[in-house]
Amino acid sequence: MASTNSTTERLALGVDGGGTKTEAWLAHVEPAGEPIVLGRGKVGSSNPRAVGMETALINLGQAIDAAWADARLAPIAVDGAVLAMSGAGHVTVQEQIAAWANKRGLAKRLWFKHDAEPVLAEGTPEGWGVALIVGTGSAAIGCDRQGERKIVGGWGYHYGDEGSAYWIGRRALESIARAADGRNPATQLTQAILSRLQVDDPRAALGALEKTGNVRGAIASLADAVESAASNGDATAAGIVEAAAEELATMVATLAKQLLFGQEFPLALAGGVICGSELLRNRLQAALKARSLAPTPIKLVPHPVAGCLRIAHNCLLTEED
């Protein structure tokens, strides 16, 4: 998408809110062509389940304010806004956010979307295929050529989020606990994670995590230590990465089966874990190949918020027709 700082008559706002960061982009939209980004804002998590509604709304507001400031424009009600926020799938949560947005005068029209929808919109050539998000949490969405949609995962960290940063980090902590007891072999993860948490004893890890104020996010941040250890030949870490890839491949394969895609279909990938880990992507592709699946093209979507703008643009055009 192009960038400019010129003023505009028709404005759209896109927000991608996750468990680690929130990105807000303000754009000028016209009937033809791509949205033109005017300003960008980025702050911490706006997932209500992770940080609570009060903090989520504060961060959401700060991201939007930063986008207006970056555009050097005074905030007004945009023509349309798309919010794709993890932890905001339930209607009662959306009602709270909508009430906040209305009080603020955020937008003339407001649309809530599953946080995988923008990835699908931005990462597939024609808007159909599978979108897989692997960040702090995990979820996948599939859409066929007729517009039928299916969602897999996205159940949250209590009993879901398989293959995500949190899932990987938690299994790393479980592994070092078992290694400390002698139930599992020694692993490089012990020293790597203790150093990250600045403690000397595995039993002190919980206290260090709690001090962060965001235990879920702190656990998720350990995922890169797992990849590093796996790349250095640690069997325990490699096993965790392999298990994560299998879980993610199962999500994708389930959608491919439900939507009758066959062997080949577009696959869009988003989230810090999958975009930042070539090792995990390679393992994922191997796991899909073992299931007789060969997605093509496979596209990384580093900024799903761009898909939010694309959706907002399309929604506004549809209303004009």
- Residues 55 and 184 both lie in one domain: no
Q: Are 57 and 22 in contact (CB under 8 A)?
A: no
- Residues 186 and 155 both lie in one domain: yes
Q: Is the dihedral of CA 230, 232, 236, 242 positive or negative?
A: positive
Q: Indicate the pLDDT class of residue 4, thresholds 50, 70 and 90.
A: very low
In a domain, 138, yes or no: yes
In a domain, 74, yes or no: yes
pLDDT of residue 320: 57
- Residues 185 and 274 both lie in one domain: yes
- Residues 162 and 291 both lie in one domain: yes
- Residues 141 and 284 both lie in one domain: yes
> Rounded to whole angstroms, how far apart are CA atoms 145 and 164?
28
CA–CA distance from 261 to each of 152, 300, 303 (Å)?
Answer: 15, 20, 26
In a domain, 168, yes or no: yes
- Residues 99 and 213 both lie in one domain: no
Whether pLDDT at 253 is above 60: yes
Q: Is the dihedral of CA 210, 216, 217, 218 positive or negative?
A: positive
In a domain, 100, yes or no: yes
User: In terms of residue numbers, what domain contains 176?
Assistant: 116-301
- Residues 120 and 62 both lie in one domain: no
pLDDT of residue 20: 79
Q: How many CA atoms lie within 13 A of 29 on its CB side?
A: 24
Most distant CA pair in the chain: distance in Å?
Answer: 67
- Residues 144 and 249 both lie in one domain: yes
- Residues 48 and 97 both lie in one domain: yes
In a domain, 2, yes or no: no
Instruction: Express each pLDDT in 178-214 by its tens digit.
Output: 999 999 999 999 999 999 999 999 999 999 999 988 8
Q: What is the CATH number of the domain that holds 132?
A: 3.30.420.40
- Residues 96 and 155 both lie in one domain: no
- Residues 279 and 147 both lie in one domain: yes
What is the average pLDDT value for the chain, to the nearest integer? 91
Number of domains forming the structure of the chain: 2
In a domain, 194, yes or no: yes
Q: Indicate the pLDDT class of residue 156, thresholds 50, 70 and 90.
A: confident
- Residues 184 and 262 both lie in one domain: yes
Q: What mean pLDDT is predicted for residues 137-154?
A: 93
Q: What is the DSSP letter of 4?
A: -
Q: Are 44 and 20 in contact (CB under 8 A)?
A: yes
> Rounded to whole angstroms, how far apart are CA atoms 87 and 152?
15
Whether pLDDT at 6 is above 50: no
pLDDT of residue 50: 77
Instruction: Express each pLDDT in 167-184 by its tens digit.
Output: 999 999 999 999 999 999
Q: What are 10's two structure tokens?
A: 């028709």
In a domain, 249, yes or no: yes
Q: Is the dihedral of CA 177, 180, 184, 190 positive or negative?
A: positive
In a domain, 77, yes or no: yes
